[in-house]
Amino acid sequence: MSKIEKFSTEIAGRELTFEFGRYAGQANSACVVQYGDTVVLATAVMSKNLREGIDYFPLLVDYEERLYAAGKIKGSRFIKREGRPTDEAILTSRLVDRSVRPLFNQDSRQDVQVVLTVLSVDQENDPDIVSLLAASCALSVSNIPWDGPVAGVRVGQINGEWVLNPTYEARGKSAMDLAVIGKADKITMIEAGANQLPEDTMYAGMEFAQKHIVKLIAFISDIQSKIGKPKESITFNEPTEEEKAKLVKLKDKVNAFCQSKMGAIFEKTDRHAQAEALDILRNEVEESLKADNEVTKEERAKGLKMVDGIYEGESRRLVLDEGKRVDGRAVDEVRSLSSEVGLLPRTHGTGLFSRGETQVLSVVTLGSPGDEQFLDSMEESGKKRFMHHYNFPGFSTGEVKPVRSPGRREIGHGALVEKALTPVLPDKEKFPYTIRVVSEVLSSNGSSSQASCCGTTLALMDAGVPIIEPVAGIAMGLITDEKDPSRFKVLTDIQGIEDHNGDMDFKVAGTKNGITAIQMDVKLDGISLEVARQALDGAKKAREQILGVITSAIPAPRAELSKYAPRITTIRIDPEQIREVIGKGGETINKIIDECGGADVIKIDIEDDGLIFITSAHADMAQKAEAWIKNIVKEILPGEIYEGTVTQILKDRNSGGEIGAVVELAPGKDGMVHISEFSQSRIRNVSDVVSVGQKLKVKVVDVDKERGRTSLSVKALGADSDLVIPDSAVDTSGGFDRGGHGGFRSRPSGGRPPFRRGPR
């Protein structure tokens, strides 16, 4: 084992410790970071060989949750080891990946993998920022070429005061949850959720974060200076001097051929017409190079790639020099917009949103509270009532692509929309439905995630979900001068080529009142706070325009739900009465469900606080179940009249003579009619006037709560009684002598069952 070295600092009143040398000695580097009792191991490994046949930098970041870190064993009865990454794990992987990727040389073709293994979680300090710091330090001290370090912090705001790295509990009280990652003077990544906060507040949060990032960068840089390994040189397939000369000559030929024709391509503002003109230019270049005997087949292929490079370079020049974009728009101009709702006949709500060539169909499904998603991960336990799922099929970009389970990108975009819409959803008490929205990207040319925000807003309002405010989203871009980074233009509503060829993707979602979500990543080594300021201001202006289009399609949530959506009836009972509703072993609740149409027709969900939700698309069945439950929990009072069912004929223990009848007034609630309470006349036997299973109208004459006895009477009904006493049942021989008259002790409930919820 190599020498163990530790370095510590303090942030937000908690110790932050970096340890090296104890674990994973065969990795290029390994770093263990502890913050509170949250501990993450980061390892970084670079392959020795180039990966052939690829045109991108092969970086892989994996965040590995371990249930032992939280002292948990997987809930499944059959599978006890960790399996597919949770959504939370995927989102953390993306957070770290997007933060460190821009600082690698993108021309490298050597595989690099960063693995983040969570060893301990304290349920206070989120492992995501700890993982980012661990990854940054592991890469910094390794021999892997990387232009770091970066550092990150989380910022909250409670009662107007900034909170650095708030705990989970504090984040629940915060108006914002802002994660900022960057270098000493630049930001490389932003993730934020907020409760409709104004742009000025969000910007101030970024400034606050940057001050603390500077301190962490200095701390990690000091560690690197003390124990860091020398960086390796990146291996390239370097051309010979002769090959370099040929490439320069080839580039001059392609440039000379394209310069006079590139302007005509940009005169076409339609994307497809422009793409067709570019294809024609490629063909012309290829034919020209074929005619040149000095140009080989491999060089022709390189020449065609140069055409794309010239096109991209010219598109950037037009933005910086002329303020003109490839589709002819001004830098702050939004593409054409349209919104529609109510397109599908049987769904609970639909919204179709289009921005330029990006088109998203969002569909809402409303379910019972029992349809909530159960969370049981390393960090989370509980339920989730709002879900947004995002699908991005190949046809949306005109490509052939196998349909597979959602990837990291789909999970990330789905979560971003969830984050953007959650602040405007109604409370469960007001709207107890479980809400699932699926956004289908039907056509994509830039920022389909933010189009999904808009489509989801439309669908929710079409479904009658009483959201507080409509939400819209927009993606901002950036073009910088490679020679002078201080010269830049921020772009509003970037399309595909501006995302691919630009320097930033800054997504902002919110309402007319303020921001609800941000996600930003860059291809540069970071952006300045000034760029962030301009992006926030431009996004606000665009958002207001988009909200106008949304509200022109549907001004407010519909007053009524779709006729195909289930209706939820809410009842609140004393929590001590829950066992009466459920019954022994679930007998009562199952009987209610079975006699009200079955589990396919009705769902009954019971919360621990006594709140009961009855969900059904059949109003008559819901009413029947509601009345049934109310009867169960209703307090029996003297003077009330019931129509019950005779369940038993009681006999005297000594004489064997019949002394009365037990009548079920409601499930679990009985009373007794003494033989003397059937008629003003004396009757010989109870069985002469009633039988088990018979419906009997009775009046409550006495309730003894201490002894658990309820006394009933038929004769007290007087003329309202519908019981016919046959003459043969009347005894004219004398007084009563068959047992006392003291009411009936209700049968015990059988004890509280081992569960509190009926089947769904």
* Residue that wins the pLDDT comparison between 441 and 653: 441
**pLDDT of 6-49, one tens digit each?**
999 999 999 999 999 999 999 999 999 999 999 999 999 999 98
Q: Sorting pLDDT into bands at 50, 70 and 90, what band is 61? A: very high
pLDDT at 732 over 90: no
pLDDT digits (tens, 9 = 90+) for 569-602: 999 999 988 998 998 899 999 999 999 999 999 9
- % pLDDT > 90, the chain: 72
- Give the Å distances, CA to CA, from 507 to 412, 451, 474, 477, 540: 13, 11, 6, 9, 11
Q: How many CB atoms lie within 10 A of CB 707?
A: 11
Q: What's the chain's Rg over C-alpha atoms?
A: 36
Eight-state DSSP code of residue 753: -
Cα gap 314→419, rounded to integer Å: 37
Output the CATH code of domain 567-633: 3.30.1370.10
Residue 371 DSSP class: G
Residue 589 tokens, joined: 């609740």
Query: Based on the number of CB atoms within 10 Å of its own CB, is 420 exposed (0-12), middle (13-18) or buried (19 or more)?
Result: buried
Question: What is the pLDDT, as a whole number, of residue 358?
Answer: 96
> Longest Cα pair distance anywhere in the chain, in angstroms?
134
The per-residue pLDDT for range 124-142, each reduced to its tens digit, is 999 999 999 999 999 999 9
**Distance, CA of 533 to CA of 539 (rounded, Å):** 10
User: Using H for helix, E for strand and C for coil, what is the string for 171-200?
Assistant: HHHCCEEEEEEECCCCEEEEEEEEEEECHH
| 193-250 confidence digits (pLDDT tens) | 999 999 999 999 999 999 999 999 999 999 999 999 999 988 777 777 887 888 888 8
Q: How far apart are the C-alpha atoms of 408 and 414, rounded to whole Å?
A: 10
Comparing CA positions, the residue from 642, 667, 660, 645 lying closest to residue 717 is 642
Q: How confident is the model at residue 270 (pLDDT cuts 50, 70, 90)?
A: confident
559: phi then psi, degrees, rounded to nearest 5:
-70, -25
CATH code of domain 5-227: 3.30.230.70
Kindly state the tokens that stand for 283: 């063909």
Contact 508, 474 (CB under 8 A): yes
Q: What is the pLDDT of residue 302?
A: 87
CATH code that applies to domain 246-322: 1.10.10
- pLDDT of 747: 44
Identify the CATH number of the domain defined by range 641-729. 2.40.50.140
Q: What is the pLDDT of residue 760?
A: 32
Q: What phi, psi does 223 have (nearest 5°)?
A: -60, -45
Cis amide linkage into residue 149, ω under 30° from 0: yes
Can you tell me the mean pLDDT for 685-706?
Answer: 92
Average pLDDT over the chain, rounded to whole? 91
Q: Tell me what pLDDT residue 442 has.
A: 97
- Does pLDDT of 381 surpass 80? no
CA dihedral 632, 634, 636, 639 (to 10 degrees): -120
Cβ burial of 184 (10 Å; 0-12, 13-18, 19+) is middle
pLDDT digits (tens, 9 = 90+) for 480-512: 998 898 899 999 999 998 998 999 999 999 999
Distant-in-sequence, close-in-space partners of 504: CB < 8 Å, separation ≥ 6: 476, 477, 478, 520, 521, 522, 523, 524, 527, 531, 535
Instruction: Name the nearest CA neighbour of 689 among 708, 663, 710, 654.
Output: 663
Structural domain boundaries in the chain: 5-227, 246-322, 337-553, 567-633, 641-729
First to last CA, the chain: 56
User: Dihedrals φ, ψ of 351, to 5°?
Assistant: -140, 130
Q: Which of 488, 551, 557, 493 is nearest to 524 (CA)?
A: 488
Matching residue, tokens 């969570």: 118
Reported as a pLDDT band with limits 50, 70 and 90, residue 755 is: very low
Nearest to 129 by CA among 163, 154, 148, 149: 154
pLDDT reported for residue 95: 97
> Is pLDDT above 80 for 756?
no
Q: What is the pLDDT of residue 705?
A: 81
Average pLDDT over residues 147-176: 96
Number of H helices, E strands in the chain: 14, 29
Q: Which residues of 529-543 are buried (b: 16+ CB within 10 A; e: fewer)?
A: eebbbbbbbbbbebb
pLDDT tens digits for range 715-731: 999 988 989 888 888 88
The top-level CATH class assigned to 337-553 is: alpha beta
Those residues with Cβ within 8 angstroms of residue 662's Cβ, 6 or more apart along the chain or in another chain: 646, 647, 648, 649, 650, 670, 671, 672, 744
Amino acid 565 reads: A
Sequence-distant (6+) residues with CB within 8 A of 472 are 450, 453, 454, 457, 509, 510, 511, 543, 546, 547, 550
Alpha helix locations (H) across 614-748?
Answer: 619-633
Q: What is the pLDDT at residue 53?
A: 86
For residue 66, which of 134, 120, 130, 115 has the smallest C-alpha distance?
A: 120
What strands lie across the sheet with 176-182, from one edge to the other?
A: 161-164, 151-158, 176-182, 187-197, 515-522, 504-510, 472-480, 488-492
CB count within 10 Å of CB 632 equals: 20
**598 three-class SS:** coil
Instruction: Give φ, ψ of 279 to 5 degrees.
Output: -65, -40
- Report the SS3 class of residue 393: coil
Residues in the chain: 760
Q: Which CA distances in Å does 83 have to 41, 86, 374?
A: 19, 9, 17
Render pLDDT for 75-113 as a digit per residue (tens, 0 to 9): 778 888 888 899 999 999 999 999 999 999 999 999 999
Q: Are strands 472-480 and 504-510 parallel, antiparallel or unpaired?
A: antiparallel
Give residue 436's pLDDT band: very low, low, confident or very high (50, 70, 90).
very high
What is the pLDDT confidence band of residue 734, given thresholds at 50, 70 and 90?
low
CB 517 within 8 A of CB 416: yes
pLDDT for 666 equals: 80
Question: Do 567-633 and 337-553 fall under one CATH topology?
Answer: no
pLDDT in the model for residue 752 = 35
Cα–Cα distance for residue pair 709/742, rounded to 1 Å: 8
Collapsing DSSP to helix, strand or coil, 46 comes out as strand
Bridge-based pairing of strands 602-606 and 161-164 is unpaired
Contact between 134 and 96 (Cβ < 8 Å): no
